[in-house]
Amino acid sequence: MRTEPRLLPEIDGLPGWSWRALDREDLPLAWPLARLAGIAPDLGGWLALAERWIARAAVEGGGLGALVNPGGLLVGLERHRPLQVDGRPTLLVDWYRTLEVTPSPRCLEALVAATSALARRSGCLALELTGEPGGNERLAALAGRLGLVERGGRWRCELDSATPPTARARPRDPTRPAG
């Protein structure tokens, strides 16, 4: 069962950037990025890998998503799933790749912002990203601006204080009828 919307609205602070959930029929669209990012050497390998991830996401309640830049190009891929960390609902982005086309890490910043928005919409109070292969310099450069803290090989961002009160789930009052 899909819990996230198919296409999130424009990412706050990043005009023209958006995130979209990927389904099986979308996987060929992500192939050029998968190849450039070194994920799979051929289309068949990419499709097999991504279909396994989608099947796993169906069991875990997660998903596979893509970052879309203002020009409409897929410039980031991510795999996410919900879990509890220290008793708090958390969205874990356990795999991601971005293709930076400028010297500044704009794609990674947009991916963190998009998955933070997805986490909030899913009722999570935190976002965690696994560290990057080969080093965490890009995440470390964004840490202060995005509220990321390195913890046990992951980068964590607490979301509850940043979530507008109207977006937070309201406790249900048992004395009032639903609706």
* Token code pair at residue 57: 């996401």
- How far apart are alpha carbons 43 and 111 in whole angstroms? 24
Residue pair 126/93 in contact (Cβ under 8 Å)? The answer is: no
Longest dimension (CA), the chain: 59
Nearest residue to 60 via CA among 33, 83, 85: 83
What is the per-residue pLDDT for 8? 56
Please compute, for residue 139, the number of CA atoms within 13 A of its CA located in the half-sphere on the CB side.
23
Amino acid (one-letter) located at 157: C
The pairs formed by 161-166 with CB atoms below 8 angstroms and a separation of 24 or more are 162/116, 163/120
What is the per-residue pLDDT for 69? 85
**pLDDT string in tens for the chain (179-residue length):** 334 445 556 777 777 889 999 989 989 999 999 998 888 889 999 999 999 999 998 899 999 999 988 888 889 999 999 999 989 999 999 999 998 876 666 889 999 999 999 999 999 999 999 987 767 888 888 888 889 999 888 999 999 644 443 333 333 233 323 33
Cα dist from 144 to 47, 68, 116, 140, 164, whole Å: 36, 24, 15, 8, 20
Q: Please count the other Cβ atoms lying within 10 Å of the Cβ belonging to residue 164.
A: 7
Nearest residue to 127 via CA among 63, 74, 83, 168: 83
Nearest residue to 116 via CA among 80, 154, 166: 80
Nearest 5°: the CA angle 128, 134, 137 is: 65
Is 166 strand, coil or helix? coil
- How far apart are alpha carbons 14 and 11 in whole angstroms? 5
What is the per-residue pLDDT for 38? 86
